[in-house]
Every structure is written in C-alpha cells, then in structure tokens.
Structure 1
Amino acid sequence: MKIRDIKKVPSKEALTQRKQLNPAKPIPGLSIKESLNLDTLSRHLAQLEKRVLELKGDIITKYIPQESRAVLEQELKRSLSQRDEAEALNKKLRLRYSYSRITLVANAVSAWAKYDKNTSLQELLSQVMEQEKVGEASAVSSISHVFEYDPGKSKEAEDLLEYIERFNELFSSGQYEAAALYAANCPRGILHNEETLLKFKALGFIKGKILPLLKYFEALINSSTAVKHPLNAAMTLEAIKCALSEKQLNLVIHWVTQQRLTFSEAIGDVIYDYGEVEPYSKSTCLALAQIVYSQCNIHKKAALCLCKQGQICGAMDYIKQLKSFSSDDYIFLLTNCASIELICCLTEEWNRKPASLSIGAIVLSLISTAHKQHGLHLLEEMSEKNALEQIILNDTVCTVEGWKKIADTCAENKHEQLSKEIISILTSQEGVVEILPDDEDAKIMEHVFL
C-alpha cells in the first residue's frame, strides 16, 4: 500500500515567527465607538481570555505538536508495511495449501482410474477430503489465526468499545432513560448483563420520574422481542418483580399475553403471590399465573389457578388431557382448594373416564389440613345416601388403617354415629378384628390383625 510522502517539518524559526500587529488598526468585531468604551473593552477582553483558555485546553486534548505528527506518521507507515508483508505471506501460504489439495485430489483420481472402480469417484473424493480435513485442520487453523487479517472484526471491536463508553457517558450525566434505551439496543447484547442491571438497581427511586430500572427492563423486553430473542429466565424474573413493585400490572399483562418472556415456575409464583396481597387484582393474577405455569408444564399449579377462579370444570378438562397427573398432584390441589364441587368431580367419572381419586384418600388428606370439615361433610353425604359401605369396600387406595384413622377423627369431632358406622363396616370384612381399649390380650396381637 502506497503512502504519500510525509511533509517536511517546519523549522523552529518559522514556528516562532509572530505576525506584527498594527496598534492603530480597528479591533475585529468592535466598532470605533465600542473601541473607545472602557466597559465594552473589558467585556471583550474577558471573552478573549476565555477563548484563549479554551484554545489552550484544545491544544492539550485535541492537537499534537508538528514534530509528534511526523513521528506518528512514520510509525503508521511502518505498521502498514508490516501488514502488507503479513498479507503477502498469508496469500503465499494459502496458494501453497490450495496446491497441496489439488495435488491430493489429482493423485486420488489417477489411482481410481488405474485400479478397480468398485467405489464411485464421488465417494472416493469425499473420503479423501474428509481425511485431509482431519489431518490438516489444526495446521490450517493456526495459520489462519496468525496471518489472516480481518478488518471487519477489528472495526466491530472498536464499535463495541465505543458503545460501552457512550452508555457510561449517558449514565454518569443522569440521562437514565436514554441510557436504558441505549443499553437495551446494544449490539450482541453486550449490556444485557447483571452488571448493567445492578447499576440501574442502585439508582433506586428518583422523585418525579419513572424508576430507571423499570425503563431499562421495558426497553430490554421490547428490543429482545424485535430480534426474536427473549430474555433469559433470571432477567425475566427481575423484570416481573420490578414491574409489580411499581404497581405496573398492566405492563406485566402485556408482557405475558404477548409471549415476550422466558417463563419459569418462579415467575408464576411471583404473579400468584401478588394476587394474594392485592385482592382487586387477584383474578387477573390467577389468569396470568395459569398461563405461565402451563407454559412451564407445572400442571398442578396451573390447575389450581383454574380452580381458584371457579373454573372447576375447566380444571378437570385440563387435568384429563394430561398424560400424567399423580396422586400427589391431586392431594396438592385438594389441600389448596378444598371445595365440595372439586371433591365431587374428583371422586366421580368424568367424560367416561374413571374417578381420579377414592373418597377415602381424599378424606384422609383433608383431615390432616385445615379443611377437615370438608372431609367430614363428604362422609355425611355418603352416609345419608347409604353409599358409605360400598365406597369403603370398593376403595383400593385407602387402607384399613387409613379408614380407622378417619373413624377416630370422626369421633374426636363429635361425629360418633359416623365413626361407629365406619368401624362396623371395617369389622364386617374378613380378617379384620376390632381391638377394644381394655382388651389387654388383644393388644398383644394387634400387629397380627392390622
């Protein structure tokens, strides 16, 4: 690459020469009348002194001495010369590598032509090229890494560095909204990290302005949606927490319904808990949490959200469509939403499908929670319908010990008649013996009968 001849450095005498000024000549920028006014001259002198200080500062920061420029141009010329030499060597190595590949292919074709042609030429060439890649990949990689010059990558690195510096300038000058937009739209997502998040979080609340952290998240989610690369789950969780802390539920609704986030169970929990402390927003939060849980395959919590909204039938349809919904999931559902309607749906056939749980298992789970009365009420209904005996005898889930525990709970809660009925049904089964409290001999054999 040719470089223009470097200009000769002016001599020191030429630099030290000063232009002679005529004292009688009018002052530039002032009329004759102003030139005779002392106040005007004082103001003009102050302006000139200020300008002199500015120029002195510019000399330090924006300009270099003529002698230094010559030195820098010499260094530039030397660097460009080194680059030209490296490019020439790189080209030479590439030609050598290409020649070796051509020779390898030519030899393979000659060998194929002389000997048997059981293998097709295309297959043979594929095998040869594959072996050549494996054998010389490391050497080619090292040569390319050392000698190949990619000005595009160098320019990209400079642009990224300039982008970070510009962001820091905006942030340090208090232009937080502009800094948030700038960081959200940065190339390669270099400012989509925890460090940037902590910088905005450290600002806290600024009177009369929207929380800078919220502006950052809003810009971040909008930009990530535009490039179809949503935020990761951790950043999404922080964004949801920030929006809800600022009572911006509408913003969360927009993010969730537009599928602009990476969902996780923790995000669903945050939205669900917000509905618990904000009664007016509870139904909305349940609907949003249900969307999140469904997307994350947390089916038991998604079904719970439907039940909490009063959509028991919808929850049952949702459950029956799933391939797996364990007994523990049903117990979780009952423990957190023990409505009579749900209990009935779980213990009866649904769309020609067998009942999900036995009444014994349901009652046993309810009596160990705060919903004890729901379980006892269900037993009373079954007893009034004369269906209790059939239910107990056909129950393959709840054991005899489980029903004995249910009977004891009935007696403790002033349902003696119900307790006696359950005990009577149990003792009527073959191999089951009732052990009385005062029967000492029977107590010894308790482990045999139970």
Structure 2
Amino acid sequence: METQRDALLDRKGHCVPLEVKTKLDAELQAAKRRRDELSAENNHLTVLYKRLRSVWDCLSSWEEEGQPVPLEELVGSTLENIREADGMDEDICSIKQLFEDQEPTRADASELDYLDRFLELFESAQYEDAALSAARAPRGVLRNIDTMEMFKGVEVLPGSLSPSFLFFWALLFTAGANGELSAPLSLQGVSCALQSGALQLVSYAVTHKKLTFTEELGDILTEHAQENPGVADLCLTLATIIYEACRLHRKAALSMCRRGLIHSAAEFLKHCEDLTAEDSMWVLCRSPSLSLLQLLTEPLQDSAAILSVGGACAALLADPQRRPVALQLLDSFVSQGRGALEEVIVGDVGSSVDVWTHVVSLCSELERDDLSRAILSVLLSQSGTTIVTPDPEGAQLMEHVYL
C-alpha cells in the first residue's frame, strides 16, 4: 500500500515517483498555457490582416466601378461582420485615419499577392527569396526603409550573410537603369554591405549611380577606410566621387590627400572656384604634409599663393601635432641661405610683419632660436623697422613696414 501511494506506473509499467509526476504535470500545464497565449496572439494578427485585406479588396472594387462611396459606409460595410472582435473599434479608427490622411490610389491585386508571398517567405526564414520578392514588388511598395528595418531585425547566423545585406543586393540588381535608392536605404545598404565585406558591391552601386549621394554616405566610406587600411584606397576613391557630386570640395580634396595624391589635391584646391584659403587650411590641418604646405604656399603665375607662408606657419606652430610640418618648411628656407629666407618673407604679401613676429615668438617658445634669429634678422633689415631692446633674441619690433 505504501508503494502505491508514493509512486505511479508510467505507460511502459515503470515506477515513477509521485513527486516527479507532479512536477512534470505542472510543467506540462505551463507549456499548454504558453501555447494558448501564442495561439491567441497569432489569431489576433490573422484577424487584423484579414480586416485590412477586406478593406483593400473593397477599395479596389470601389475604384474599378468608379462609384464614390462615403468613408463611413466603406469601413462599416467591410468590417461589420467582425466588429465583435477585441480591439475592433481601435482598428476602425486607425483605418479611418489612414483614408483621411492619404488619398486612396488604385489597389492592385498583384501587390497583395506579393505581400502575401513576401510575408510567407520572411516568416519561414527564406530571406534571400524574401529579399527578391520585396525588391520586385509592384510600384516599389516594399522597396523602403521599413522593409530594410524588418531584415535588420533578424539575427544573423554565424557564417551566413545578413538578411539586410541580401535585401540591399536585391534592391540594386532589380532597380531600373535610372533607379536610385533613397538616401536612407543607401546609407543602411552601404553600412550592411561594408559589415559583410562586400566592398565591390558598394563600388558597383557608386560607380553605376544606384545610390543617393549624401555627405553622410561619403563619411561612412571615409570612416571605413580609416578602420580598414587594406581597403582604404578604394573606399577613399568612392568617397571622393560622392563628395564631388555633392559639391563638398574640401572633403574631396582631403580624400585625395589621404590617398597620397598630394599634387592632385593641391591642383584641385588651386583651381576650384568654390574653395577659399580657409578651406585649404582646413585640408592642410587634417592632412599635414610638407609637400602639400609647399604647394599651397607657392605663388601662382598670375596671383598670390593660396596660403601665405607666415599665416600658415603661425597656425601650424600653435598646434603640437602639426608644428613639425611648419618647422620643416622654415628649415628648408634657412638651409638655402639668408637670401632665400628674405625672398620668402618679403614676397609673402599675405602676411604682415605682425604675423611674422608671432612666428618668431612661437619659434622661441619651441627653443628653435636658430629659426627665430634668422627670421628676426630679415625683419630688422627692412626699412622703417626699429627694436626696443638690443637683445636680438628678445627683441620687440615696433613701427615696422615693408619696402
């Protein structure tokens, strides 16, 4: 009798402890409750979809017949038979708002077929086929950022391509000859392609003008170049194309510099009418090099140099990360003799003596007295320049003008 109270027999006649049986029953009941909850949620979604499908079919019929139907009558006649469902009043209000906010267009049965097919493929995790189905949907109803967000929300399995990348790929190769993806789709698509290592696909999209070019798109490629040196040249080339198309010329010049195309960048800065001296200085500060500084401070055939030597050196010397370039330029002048340095200072019409005096002071602070003395000597030799103290290293210049 004791054994019968504390144990039960399973279907095969094996003895199962009563406490184990009780625990299993509890887990089974919990699983059944969860199943019922999920079933209820799915039923609600199914009912909602059927409601929307009914409204769409009704609208299509209404348009084909050319008969104007009041909104209240349309919604009421379509949904009257399912009004008793939970949340029905809220759904009707939502549908009314949809019709009031947007002018109805002709409903196409093929759009519904594509939507059905897309949802079926997506829910069954056939993401490549789902991407193609969405990309080929009539009138581009699924070629939007909302669909991209659906694919982005899917967890990427190890060793597989992300669903969002598959959608981007499908969008590109189903687009018409003159089809460009929207700016949001372009940004999202390029980002997921770069994450998937598909730079060649991005190159195709950029060179074949399949994307909407924006500054943000160029910046994404620039950042990828900085983080991945192995593909930096191609990324910067594509970024340059985008920046030029957006008339972001100084960013285009900076991309050239980062590719090592210093002379091309300098020529671009010299001949681009939209760029100013401030733009050239912006590029130089972000890609400092002696070659670029020399090219930008060389006088042009029919006009002054883009940048003044004194002004550029003063700005660069004040920045610890960029001052080596300015020191290299000044050293190159001094190494050629006093005559070369004097020719540079006197011919630097873009800088006043005050600017060069500031350069002297900065060189002294950096303990480059050789440079400060050489520059000061040239300044003192100019007519009308006087000094307050005979100490050449601490001289303060007053009443100074050029010849």
Query: Which range, TM-score by smaller chain?
Result: 0.5 to 0.7
* Residue in structure 1 matched with residue 324 of structure 2 by the alignment: 373
Is this contact kept in 2: 1:213–1:242, CA < 8 A? yes
Match runs of 1:387-398 below 5 Å: 387-398=340-351
Contact 2:385 2:399 in 1 (8 A): no
Residue 320 of structure 1 pairs with residue 274 of structure 2 = no
2:189: which partner in 1? 239
Equivalence for 1:219: 170
* Structure-2 residue corresponding to 1:407: 360
Determine helix, strand or coil for the equivalent of 2:153: helix
For 1:56, the equivalent position in structure 2 comes to none
Q: Is the Cα–Cα contact under 8 Å of residues 300 and 329 in structure 1 kept in the other structure? A: yes
Are 1:334 and 1:366, in contact at CA under 8 Å, matched by a contact in 2? no
In the TM superposition, residue 449 of structure 1 has moved relative to its aligned partner by 8.8
CA contact (8 A) 1:217 1:239 kept: yes
Corresponding position: 1:363 with 2:313: yes
Determine the C-alpha separation between the residues in 2 that align with 1:176 and 1:213.
9
Distance 1:448 1:378, change over 3 A: closer
Query: How many angstroms apart in 1 are the aligned matches of 2:195 and 2:383?
Result: 62
Matched with 2:94 is none
TM-score of the superposed pair, with normalisation by structure 2 = 0.66
Partner in structure 2 of residue 51 of structure 1:
none
Partner letter of residue 402 of structure 1? V
Q: In 2 relative to 1, CA 173–437 (structure 1 residues): closer, same or farther, beyond 3 Å?
A: farther
Equivalent position of 2:119 in the other structure: 168
Distance 2:366 2:325 in 1: 12
- In 2, distance between residues paired with 1:277 and 1:307? 17
1:117 alignment partner in structure 2:
none
* Deviation of the 1:192 alpha carbon: 2.2
Q: How many residues of Structure 1 are paired with residues of Structure 2 in the alignment?
A: 299
Gaps of 5+ in 2: 1-60, 69-104
Please say if residues 360 and 395 of structure 1, whose CA atoms lie closer than 8 Å, have aligned partners that are also in contact: yes
The 8 Å contact of residues 268 and 292 in structure 1, kept in 2 or not, is answered as yes
C-alpha deviation, 1:388, in angstroms = 2.2
- Give 1:372's aligned amino acid: R
Identity of aligned residues (%): 34
Moved more, 251-260 or 326-335: 251-260
The answer as to 2:146 corresponding to 1:195 is: yes
Amino acid at match of 2:165: L
Post-superposition Cα deviations, 1:90-123, rounded to whole Å, max 9, x if no partner, equal: xxxxxxxxxxxxxxxxxxxxxxxxxxxxxxxxxx
Q: Specify which of 272, 282, 289 is matched with residue 222 of structure 2.
A: 272
Alignment partner of 1:419 out of 350, 355, 372: 372
1:367 and 1:300, CA in 2 relative to 1: closer, same or farther beyond 3 A?
Answer: same
Distance in 2 (alpha carbons) for counterparts of 1:435 and 1:163: 87
1:184 and 2:126 correspond: no
Seen in structure 2, the aligned counterparts of structure 1 residues 351 and 176 have a Cα distance that, compared at 3 Å, is farther
Counterpart of 2:211 in structure 1 is 261
Deviation at 1:343, TM superposition (A): 1.7
| SS in structure 2 of the partner of residue 387 of structure 1 | helix
Structure 1 residues 424, 208: closer, same or farther in 2, change over 3 A? closer
Question: How many Å apart are 1:437 and its aligned residue?
Answer: 12
Alignment map for 1:133-152 (pairs within 5 Å): none
Letter in 2 for 1:321: H
Pairing 1:347–2:347 present: no
Q: 1:353 to 1:223 in 2, by over 3 A?
A: farther
- 1:131 is matched with none
Paired residues of 2:379 and 2:385 also in contact (CA < 8 A): yes
Q: CA RMSD in A?
A: 3.3
Alignment gaps of 5+ in structure 1: 1-78, 88-152
Q: Which amino acid aligns with 1:210?
A: L
Return the offset for 1:378: 0.9
The letter for the 1-side match of 2:346 is L
Distance between the aligned counterparts of 1:399 and 1:295, measured in 2?
Answer: 38
Gap change, CA 1:184 and 1:432, over 3 Å in 2: farther
Given residue 173 of structure 1, which amino acid in structure 2 is its aligned partner?
Answer: S
Q: Which residue of 1 aligns with 2:4?
A: none
Give the Cα separation in 1 of the matches to 2:301 and 2:213: 32
| C-alpha displacement of 1:274 | 1.1
Deviations 1:158-195 (A, max 9, x none): 43334323322221122211111111111222112232
**Larger-gyration structure (1/2):** 1
Residues 259-285 of structure 1, C-alpha deviation per residue, up to 9 Å, x if partnerless? 221111111111111111112112222
Alignment of 1:121-140 (within 5 A): none
How far the C-alpha of 1:199 sits from its partner, in A, is 0.8
Once the two structures are superposed, what CA deviation does each residue of 1:114-134 show, in whole Å capped at 9, x if it has no partner? xxxxxxxxxxxxxxxxxxxxx
| Match for residue 210 of structure 1 among 161, 165, 189 | 161
- AA of the residue aligned to 1:392: I
What is the Cα deviation at residue 219 of structure 1? 0.8
Cα deviation code 1:275-333 (max 9, x no counterpart): 11112112222222222212111111211222222222222332333222111111112
1:447 is displaced (CA, Å) by 11
Q: Could you say which residue in structure 2 is the equivalent of 1:41?
A: none
The CA deviation at 1:410 is 1.1
